[in-house]
Structure 1
Amino acid sequence: MGVMKVSTIGSSLPVANELYRVTELFFSKSVEMVNKYDVRELPNVLPEDLFIVLPTRVKQVCQYVPAEKVLGVELIPEIQLYVDVAKIPQGKSVGIFNNNLAQGNMIVSYLQSYGLNLDYTVIPFDELSPEEVKDRLQKSEIIIGMNGFVGPEEVLFKKYREALNPESQIISFNRTIKPQGIMDIMERITLFNYHELAKEAQETSSILNSRMQEVMAVSETVTDSMQLTRDTVKITTQMINKQIQQVETTIQISNEMGKAASQIDQTIQLIKRIANQTNLLGFNASIEAARAGETGRGFTVVAQEIKRLADESRQSVEQIRSLIYNMQDVSSKIVPLMELMTEEFKGLDSSVLEITDRTNTEADLMKEIKFALQEIGETSQKLFEEYNHLCSHRVQ
């Protein structure tokens, strides 16, 4: 929460300094004291939150500063002045050395309110000519003025030292804030703090609302993502079941190919036996040919046997051709099926990757929700602490 920035404005710089001193004395822990201004030398930009002035200068200062930022605070002499004035014998001429007549008369009224009725003459040095100031000083046996005016390095000695009567007594004093002024400043500080708290509470509420909207949006995204993940898992399960069916079909076809391969092997063995017998018959035929002179019946038997074996060989070749055709047909079924399985497995991989990505996204979103909720908690705690601080400040 921001701290109230306070400056003082006086009819002269010594008055502004005096206002600054007493305000800082009472409120240094509650506000930030910034500057002291002479009303005749105000800068163009005055960014402070509150300006403390004397009541006689409120209207003048409001020409330069918004009225809601100006507070008139009356200063009264500290008790020591009344003690010192009470010691002055009757009949003595007393000069009230002040920069303006209004404040000089106020000092006289304060003294008279305590029954200190002496021969007072106000010497408003900023409103009189130097000759008039000197004349009144020379006639004053006692000179009363605040420290900012009658100190060794202040205007009385700097400008009018030669006009002072060597026998003149100088009484300096400080002023303080009236109880009502203290209450008025405290009220302004409390109002400022409440406004600051209200502004900060509004900003905090706006932040909380924004964060809650973000949490709601993220939660909806997580819900949608989870639904998509469930749908993806369902589709993936269906794809896996389909793959299982295709694998079972492939196994059946593979079994058929195994049987066909077994039959081919048997046929090849038969051809081998036929070839061996054919070779043997050819050898026998050669022997019979050598004996052709004796009889030709052996050639006839050999020829018939060779013919029979040739027929068997032809049949075996046809069987082999049929088996090969069957294997080609089986292969033509397997290849597209395997290609289809490959494509579907790619789709399965893509689905798995999609599930992984969604899972990671959901994890990130959940982290974001956790962070947002933590930030909301911290902001709420901050608001609670500021409220407690203001309440305790008000009690004090």
Structure 2
Amino acid sequence: MTLKKRLFLLALIPLILSTAIILFIVWQMVSMSSAGENDVDILTDIEALNSDMLIIQQSLANFSLSPTENNRLNTQNQLMETESFIEDLLSRLPNGEQSEQLSLIQSKFSDLTFTAGESLDQGNVSETNRQAARVGGILNDLYLLTVLADDWYAASVNETARQISFIVIFSLSAVAVIVIVSLITSMIISKRITDPLNRMLTQASRVAEGDLTVEIEESAKKSKFEIHLLNQAFSNMMLNLRDTVLSIHEVSDQVAGFAEDVSKKIVHLEESGSQIASSTEELAKGSQSISEDIQDTSERMTVLQSTFQQSEELTSRSAVKGNEALKAVQNGQESLEQQKHFTKEAATASSSIKKELETFSAFTSEIQEAAEFVREIADQTNLLALNAAIEAARAGEQGKGFAVVANEVKKLANHSSDATDKITSMVLNIQNGMSGILDAAVQGEKLSSHQLSSMNETESSFKQIASRVQSIDSELSTLVNSMQESMTYTVDVTSAIENISAVTEQTAAGTEEISASADEQQLAFKEVSQAIHQLQEMSLRMQSQLNQFKIPNRGE
């Protein structure tokens, strides 16, 4: 039953009972009035009948003194009218002594009418006078009838007084019953309205304090009662809010774990970057040494051209230097392979960071959708509270308590909306931070790709250097074995050394670029580390905001 029907029933029950009592009193009063009028008419008619009998007696006496036609007709008419009047009065008298007495009078009067009628028609004055004397007997009977009627009227008046007393007592008793029934009905209906509202008010206060462990009793069967519907809506809102907070807790834990994993990977990448930078520095030193050796070899080849006599000694020394250069190139190739391995690991780590960040970005989108869902629930609750306030205003004084509860529900909906705004703001901050981290990860991936490409070029250059140094070593060996032929190839050797010097310079430049890329990569790693630190701080702030809610254990 709806609240409107309950309130209508509360007002209708006293009205129906009051109307029934009023109708009963009116019916009793009408009955008493009708009975009183009938009693008065009977008494009046008996007195009138007594007067008619006196008139008939006088008319018969007049006829006996003056037997005129006019007196005869008047007397006969009077007899017939009186006889009709007696019949009418007999039909209206209640059964009992009065009716029997009037029947006796009617019998005597009928006999009188018949005998007097004959004497009047015959003009028998003595008989008429005798019939006039008989009227005196009927008058005696009428006197007895009058006494009986007076007694009956007195009894009727007493009965009327008793009925009036009964009506008064009944009215007072009925009013008392109406008051008691109205109070009991009001208490029952009010209790059924206020008890759920008081329970919801207590539960809403606990929810407003952040206690989401509140258990709300739901009605076992479907009901159209607005209070039950409000309780059901409040229960659904509580369940949705509890699920949302639990989901945010889980996502926050995942964010914290993810940030910790990423931080560890960043530390590992920084260590790898430091190793790459160290290897690059060693490679640069080796390239510088190679360049110096090649320049020295070029100078010695120039001296070889001017002082060919010392060519054998100088050639031997050049062979030694060539072997050293070959070893340096081999060492450079090994360092380059190690650096290439580290670069691939850095690229893999950057790609992993990018994927993890994209996954986390999807989590933040789910958090934002959950927050929007909570906002929609708060808006619906606010609208329900507004409708409840309107219904309470329509109910007047009896709806004040309901209006207070509706106001509290509205405040709760506003608090939920404010909390949703805070969560949405935090999610936006997380998304902004994640966007910066994702950009940094993409930049690191690009730098790793460029570094890997540069390493491939450097490796190709080292292969060329190794090939050229091996060629130089072979030529120097040939030069030692055949000094006579060395003059012919001196120019070619000088040209080859110049090419080696150019390649060495290119290698040094590539090494410097690799070193710069490693520095940029370390800077990018630092930026990613700072962003991860900001993400952890935001996660802690979100945990602090969520700690104000008291929720059941995750396993419950």
Give the TM-score normalised by structure 1: 0.44
Per residue, is there more strand in 1 or in 2? 1
Per residue, is there more helix in 1 or in 2? 2
Give the TM-score normalised by structure 2: 0.33
The higher radius of gyration belongs to: 2
